[in-house]
Every structure is written in C-alpha cells, then in structure tokens.
Chains A and B, each alone.
Chain A
Amino acid sequence: MSSIKSETLRSRRTAGTAGGAKKPRQPWRLRLGGHQPIGMVFVSPYLLYLAAIFVYPLGFAVWMSFHDYFFAAPGVEVERPFVGLDNYTSVLTDPDVWRSFYNIAVFLVINVPLTVVGSLVLATALNRKLPLRSFFRTAYYIPYVTASVAVVGVWMFLFNSDGLVNRALGPLAPEPSWLVNSHLAMPVVAVFVAWKQLGFFVVLYLSALQNVPNELYESAALDGAGRLRIFRSITVPAVRPATLLVLILATITGANLFTEPYLLTSGGGPDGATTSPVLLMYQRGLQQGHPDEAAAIGVILVVLITAISLIYRRLVERD
C-alpha cells in the first residue's frame, strides 16, 4: 500500500516538469510583458488602482502599527518613532481587545454555518420550478440591498423588551431582554447579519447550481436516491467551490462587523458583549486618536482571517 502511495506521489511531482526535463528560461521581455505586451497597457489602470487603494494602504497600516503614529496637520513637525511591538503588546494585553475577538468568534460560529446552510438550502429550493420563483428570489435579495440603518429599526422593533418577539413569547421572554442580555445580544446580531446577507449568498449558490448537469440528478433519481441523499451526494459536492467562496466571504464580512452592533446594540453593548474588533479600531483610531493601535488590531485581524481562510480551503478542497 505504501509503495503504491509513494509511486503516486513521485508521479505527481514529476508531472509538472514533463518527465523531469527543465523548461528553457524565457527572455525577460517575454517574462515581463508576455507574448502580447500591449496587454500590460490594458491591465495597468487596474494595477495602478490596486497599488493606490490596496497595496500602499496595507503597507502603510503595517508601518503604522510599528510606530508611535497619530494623525497630524500637514506641515506640523511630529516625531513618529519606531516602537517595535509596543502597539501589539498594548492591544494584546488589553482585555477589551481580547473580548472583542472573543465576541467575533461567537459571531462567526453562529453566523457562518447559518449562512452556508441557509443559503444552500434556499438556493436549492429556489433552483426548482416553483410558483412565484422570481418573487422569492427577489424577496430574499431585498434585505441585502437595503441599508442596515433601515432594517435595524425593524429588528429593534422585534427584539426590544416590549417588542413583537417578547409579546409572542409572553412569560418565556428572556430577562434581561435580547438586546440588553450579554449572552443573547451577539447571537441576535449574528442571526440578523445572516438574514440580511442571505440573498447575496443565495445568488452565489444559484449560479453554482446552474452548472450542475441535470443528468446527475436524473441518474440518482433512477437509482432510487431520495431528496436528502441527492442533496448530500450530488448538490453539496457539486457546489464545493461556491461553498468555499461563501465561507471565506461570510468570514471576512463577519470579521468586519461594525454597523450592526453599532446600531442594533447601541455601540457595542450590553457591557461590551457585541463590541467587535473593527468597532474598537474605530474608537481607538478615529475617536481617541490612536491609529497606531487601531492598525495593530487590524493587522492581527487580517492574520487571523487569512489563517481561517486557509484552513477553510484545506478542509473544503480536500478530496
């Protein structure tokens, strides 16, 4: 068994180099500009755009996080000395920062599975020939394109202590109520965000489902597979690339959580239970004048999200 495995590995390693022979090195002009150098002219606006709005700010944020940095008026001489890991030490020894990362972990644990399962199930349902299919597809998309400020009002109306949900629950209503309960506030935010963004992820899955050959479903049905079995054995594997995308996007948008706790739970309440790292970045960077610490929180957030995304990739793309 082991010899077969090692043989396979060896053949994989050599497959990319055409039997081990080295490819001739291309001249630098070809390497830089390709066979159609004019293509560089067409892509250069995007490259400039990418450099200006992404590469430079990203590098600047990392630089800020290693310096004693604050915003100053142009022309004002200020010292911004290199402080090594001071900003990182400062934020990593701050219980509020740890709390915010814990909060976002709670959020992601609830929101991401809910988003993936909810959007896949809904997309599968909406992929069938249903009456009023277009209406339902639009209906699920509407919350996504509606401003958070508007829909948050509806949720507050639902989840306030004398809101509709508590009236329906009667004596079973939680005390303290949903949005001022430190155990329930973040789950409510997570469900709210899942509901609000579902439409977008349904569209991603719907486009993936269009590419699944109908013959697969027909064969499975002929073989006597039930709906659940077909969903598990055909739909789920067929949309795996879309699932990876949904996982990564849901995690990134979740990690960027700001508007919802700010509006729904009044600035990260109750007692900091919904304070997210980005909310702290806003407080530290813009309100309190410590963009260096905000940048350190941002860098830590990026590193964590990158790691989570890589783990997703490994898990989802694993055969």
Chain B
Amino acid sequence: MKKALLVMLPVAALTLSACGSGGSDSGASNDARGPVTIWYSNNAQEVAWGKKMVAEWNAAHPKEKITAQEIPAGKSSEEVIGAAITAGNAPCLVLNTAPAAVPGFQKQGGLVPLDEFPDGEKYLQERVGGKLSQYASPDGKYYQMPWKSNPVMIFYNKDLFKKAGLDPEKPALAGYDEFLETSRKLVESKAAKAAIWPAPTSEFYQSWFDYYPMFAAQTGKQLVEDGKAQFASPDGLKTAQLWKTMYAEGLAPKETFNGDAFAEGKAAMATVGPWAVSVYGDKVEWGVVPVPTADGTAAKGTFSDEKSIGMYSSCKNRGTAWDVMKFATSKEQDGKLLEATGQMPMRTDLTAAYPSYFASHKDYEVFAEQAEQTVEAPNVPNSVEVWQTFRDAYTKSVIFGKGDLDAALKDAAAKVDELAEGQ
C-alpha cells in the first residue's frame, strides 16, 4: 500500500495547486468606497514611485486608505496573480498586469471591466488615444488600463563597434543586409563573442525580445490580427529568415548567457527599452537606433513591452479603486513615474505633455518617439498558448534551424488561428 501511495505522488503535486477555492463573489458595486489594496512590481525605482504615490493618496483620503505591497514572489507575476484570482485574494489593483495575461485573467472572471464605470471609456480614450483599440478584449470591453510602455529599440556598444572597425556614431543597422553585415564584422573581428544575444530559450514571452520587435517594425502589425496569425506572411518570414541566419552563422548564440551579455561586453547589441538608459548608463558607451526593417525604411512600429493596471473582481471597494487608478495615472503621477523610472506613460503626445523632462533627458526622447507607434501582444483567447505555439515553432526552425522554415511557421499559424478563435 505504501509503495502504491509513493507512486501516486506526481499527481498529488499537480492537484494540490488545484484545490484552492472557496469564498464567494464580493458582489461589490462600482460605487463602493473604503480601503483598498494594491500590488506593484518589485523593481526598486517603481517601488519608490509607488510608495510616494500611496503616501500622497493616503494623506488626502484617510477613510479610503491604500495598503500597498510588492507582487509576492513567484515564478512569474502572472502565475501569482492567476493563483490569487482563483483563491479570491487578489488585491483591488495590480500595477503591472501583462497584457498577454489579460485574456486568461478575464476568462477566470478575475477582472473588472473598466468601461462599466460611468467615465471609464472616456478616461481611457483621452489618456491613451488611438492605441487604445489594441487593449480591447474580444468582447469589446476594456479589462485593463494601459499604463506604461518600454518601446523596444536596439542598443549598441560604441567601444565594440570601434574595435570592429565600424562607425560608432552612424552604425549600419537600418536594413537586414546591413544588420547582418555589421553583425558579421563584430563577430569575425572578435570584438564581441556575439553580435546580439537574446535568450534562445523556450519560454512563451521570449519572442517579445527577438522576433516580435523586428516583425512589428517590418509590418506594423500584431502577431494575430482579425483572428488570423500574421507571422507566416512574406514579411513575417523575412524577419524569421534574418534570425535564422543570425543563429546559423553564430552571430547570435544558441546557448543561454547567465547574466547580462550586453553589460559584460559579450554581445555588441541588445534589444531594450528605455529602462536600459539608467541600467547601462555609465557602464557601457552606448548608442541607440530603431529596430531594423528588411529594406532599411522607417520602422512601422515596435513592441511596446507595456504593462497595464488591472482591477480585480475580488475588490470590494471598486469606486475607490477606480479613483486610485485615475490618480495613479494622472498627468502629475505619470510625470513622476517618468522621472523616477524612465518608462513611458501610455499617453498621447508624450513629449508635448512633459516638455521640460525630455528637454533635459535627450536620451529618452527617441524612446518617446517610438512610444507613439507601439505594437502590443494581441488580446486574443488562449493568448499564452498562442505565444508558446509560435515560440516552439521558432525555436525549432529558426534557432536550431531544423526543417523547412516556411512550412514550420505555416503549421504554427494554422494552430494559432484555431487557438485565437477560442478553440
């Protein structure tokens, strides 16, 4: 019997995670007021901003206080939030909700639609402008407040470019041919071990930092649009072919680098957002250029690496939570967030909104320009599975160069079409 029990252990491990449930819906109305809880991400700059924002709110609202904490540690924020939804103990607001996770949270019944507040849609539209439609759910509602983006660009190490005999002020990185040629020179000259070193791993989100920014620059499209996968299009294949060549020629390694390859001078380029300005600051003599397109024409977009604020259905005092959400995304607080973190508030005409900041922070201006044309992860059913399906095909056919690239991406696109339909 004991042996029989021992062999049953694997499923016990699985199911333990499945049995957290109970309680009931808060039955809260959108007018209810009182104390609220919020979670924010655990990077030091955001925590500092969050603490100040909370202190300002609490000083002015003694009866509707915010209790704030960092998102509890876990394998990823999304898994922690998903578990909290199931357990019924999610906070009112999470200031770091990934758009790719929103369809899943919505399916769980974990999110409150923001356009059900009387001024909800108007506020979202005025703040976010034309990009707002990318954040609508398939039912047409908005379950997230687009909050801040990290429009992705290419950082390069000027010292390593110099060492490879390349012009560090005007690097040839606009078209795929130029990008490849520059990469070859960087590696052949042994200026760097890798031209660029994105994580070659299988996690569903890794494509946001290698393929997707270039795909967005080339097409201006989301991975899935109108329920159809876009990555097997001729433009999508061109981008995949570029990366296949990068891996086949050893310009991008197939192995994981434990650490920051760009900071350590192992890679001459990196795909990064504005957070990189303060991170690499004085450590690397860096330059920044837009993500390349196939023929070197201006990019049609770049991946946003955006985070939203979500209101969770376990929240009782939703009226207060909505007010806190608006307070945290007010022009004043957005300015403080920009100042503290360098991340771009999801506002229309960003540079005009904060002219003095961008006048004194020229390094960030290029990111603000990119922020005007960000491309988001699509808000479709089975979002995470869609990305995993793409990543699996990409890992096999692009990173490891196995099989026919066209066929692999077309197969994956057919699967993604079904998944995006909710099957």
Q: How far is the CA of A269 from the CA of B206 in the complex (A)?
A: 13
Which A279-319 residues have C-beta < 8 A from chain B?
Answer: 281, 283, 285-291, 294-295, 298-299, 301-302, 305-306, 309, 313
Check B254 against A180 for contact (C-beta < 8 Å). yes
Check A72 against B12 for contact (C-beta < 8 Å). no
Check B108 against A270 for contact (C-beta < 8 Å). no
* Chain B residues positioned under 8 Å from A21 (CB to CB): none
* Chain B residues positioned under 8 Å from A288 (CB to CB): 104, 382, 384-385, 388
Q: Which residue of B lies closest to A56 (CB)?
A: B19
Tell which of A70, A96, A289 has the most Cβ of chain B within 10 Å.
A289
Q: Is B201 an interface residue (CB 8 A)?
A: yes
Check A72 against B86 for contact (C-beta < 8 Å). yes
Rounded to whole Å, the gap between the CB of B5 and the closest CB of chain A is 7
Check B85 against A73 for contact (C-beta < 8 Å). yes
- Majority DSSP secondary structure for residues of A touching B: helix
Check B256 against A256 for contact (C-beta < 8 Å). no
Check A306 against B12 for contact (C-beta < 8 Å). no
Q: Please tell me which one of the listed residues B7, B15, B23, B203 contacts residue A57 in the complex, with CB atoms under 8 A apart.
A: B15
Tell which of A60, A71, A153, A248 has the most Cβ of chain B within 10 Å.
A71
Q: Is B25 an interface residue (CB 8 A)?
A: yes
Q: Is A176 an interface residue (CB 8 A)?
A: yes
Q: How far is the CA of A161 from the CA of B204 in the complex (A)?
A: 25
Q: Is B14 an interface residue (CB 8 A)?
A: yes
Check B19 against A60 for contact (C-beta < 8 Å). yes
* Chain B residues positioned under 8 Å from A266 (CB to CB): 199-202, 256
Q: Which residue of B lies closest to A278 (CB)?
A: B10
Q: Is B280 an interface residue (CB 8 A)?
A: no
Known: A61-B18, A302-B11, A309-B3. Contact between A70 and B108, CB under 8 A?
Answer: yes
Q: Is B97 an interface residue (CB 8 A)?
A: no
* Chain B residues positioned under 8 Å from A291 (CB to CB): 18
Q: How far is the CA of A179 from the CA of B18 in the complex (A)?
A: 33
Known: A270-B254, A287-B384, A288-B382. Contact between A61 and B11, CB under 8 A?
Answer: yes
Q: Which residue of A lies closest to B384 (CB)?
A: A288
Q: How far is the CA of A316 from the CA of B374 in the complex (A)?
A: 63
Check B402 against A271 for contact (C-beta < 8 Å). yes
Check B10 against A306 for contact (C-beta < 8 Å). no
Q: How far is the CA of A72 from the CA of B3 in the complex (A)?
A: 35
* Chain B residues positioned under 8 Å from A118 (CB to CB): none
Check A179 against B255 for contact (C-beta < 8 Å). yes
Rounded to whole Å, the gap between the CB of A87 and the closest CB of chain B is 13
* Chain B residues positioned under 8 Å from A62 (CB to CB): 11
Check B255 against A76 for contact (C-beta < 8 Å). no
* Chain B residues positioned under 8 Å from A153 (CB to CB): 258
Q: Please tell me which one of the listed residues A60, A78, A268 contacts residue B109 in the complex, with CB atoms under 8 A apart.
A: A78
What 0/1 readout, one digit per residue, does chain A (173-186) give for beta carbons within 8 Å of chain B? 00011011010000
* Chain A residues positioned under 8 Å from B3 (CB to CB): 248, 309, 313
Rounded to whole Å, the gap between the CB of B87 and the closest CB of chain A is 8
Check A73 against B255 for contact (C-beta < 8 Å). no
What 0/1 readout, one digit per residue, does chain B (19-50) give for beta carbons within 8 Å of chain A? 10111111100000000000000000000000
* Chain B residues positioned under 8 Å from A302 (CB to CB): 7-8, 10-11
Interface residues on B, range: 35 or more
Q: How far is the CA of A76 from the CA of B88 in the complex (A)?
A: 10
Q: Is A4 an interface residue (CB 8 A)?
A: no
Q: Is B313 an interface residue (CB 8 A)?
A: yes
Q: Please tell me which one of the listed residues A176, A267, A295 contacts residue B15 in the complex, with CB atoms under 8 A apart.
A: A295
Stretch at the interface among B148-156, B174-182, B328-336, B392-400: B392-400
Q: How far is the CA of A295 from the CA of B3 in the complex (A)?
A: 22
* Chain B residues positioned under 8 Å from A290 (CB to CB): 385
Which A68-99 residues have C-beta < 8 A from chain B?
Answer: 70-76, 78, 96
Check B400 against A271 for contact (C-beta < 8 Å). yes
* Chain A residues positioned under 8 Å from B73 (CB to CB): none
Rounded to whole Å, the gap between the CB of B209 and the closest CB of chain A is 14
Q: How far is the CA of A70 from the CA of B253 in the complex (A)?
A: 38
Q: How far is the CA of A182 from the CA of B204 in the complex (A)?
A: 20
Q: How far is the CA of A281 from the CA of B253 in the complex (A)?
A: 29
* Chain B residues positioned under 8 Å from A78 (CB to CB): 109
Rounded to whole Å, the gap between the CB of A305 and the closest CB of chain B is 5
Known: A73-B314, A266-B200. Contact between A294 and B14, CB under 8 A?
Answer: yes
Q: Is B292 an interface residue (CB 8 A)?
A: no
Rounded to whole Å, the gap between the CB of A76 and the closest CB of chain B is 3
Check B109 against A289 for contact (C-beta < 8 Å). no
Q: Which residue of B lies closest to A305 (CB)?
A: B7
Check A53 against B10 for contact (C-beta < 8 Å). no
Q: Which residue of B lies closest to A312 (CB)?
A: B3
Rounded to whole Å, the gap between the CB of B411 and the closest CB of chain A is 11
* Chain A residues positioned under 8 Å from B90 (CB to CB): 73
Q: Is B352 an interface residue (CB 8 A)?
A: no
Q: Is A272 an interface residue (CB 8 A)?
A: yes
Q: How far is the CA of A236 from the CA of B399 in the complex (A)?
A: 47
* Chain A residues positioned under 8 Å from B24 (CB to CB): 74-75
What 0/1 readout, one digit per residue, does chain A (184-197) give for beta carbons within 8 Å of chain B? 00000000000000
Check B8 against A74 for contact (C-beta < 8 Å). no
* Chain B residues positioned under 8 Å from A309 (CB to CB): 3, 6-7
A–B Cβ pairs within 8 angstroms, 14 of them: A53-B12, A64-B15, A72-B109, A73-B86, A73-B88, A74-B25, A161-B253, A177-B255, A180-B254, A285-B18, A298-B11, A299-B11, A302-B7, A306-B4
Known pairs A56-B19, A286-B17. 11 more at Cβ < 8 A?
A57-B15, A58-B15, A61-B11, A70-B107, A73-B85, A180-B200, A271-B400, A278-B10, A299-B11, A302-B10, A306-B8
Q: What are the nearest 5 A-B pairs in CB distance? A: A75-B25, A76-B109, A57-B15, A266-B201, A61-B15
B residues apposed to A, CB below 8 Å = 3-19, 21-27, 78-79, 82, 85-88, 90, 104, 107-110, 199-204, 253-256, 258, 313-314, 382, 384-385, 388, 392, 395-396, 399-400, 402
A residues apposed to B, CB below 8 Å = 53-54, 56-58, 60-62, 64, 70-76, 78, 96, 153, 156, 160-161, 176-177, 179-180, 182, 248-249, 252, 255-256, 266-272, 275, 278, 281, 283, 285-291, 294-295, 298-299, 301-302, 305-306, 309, 313
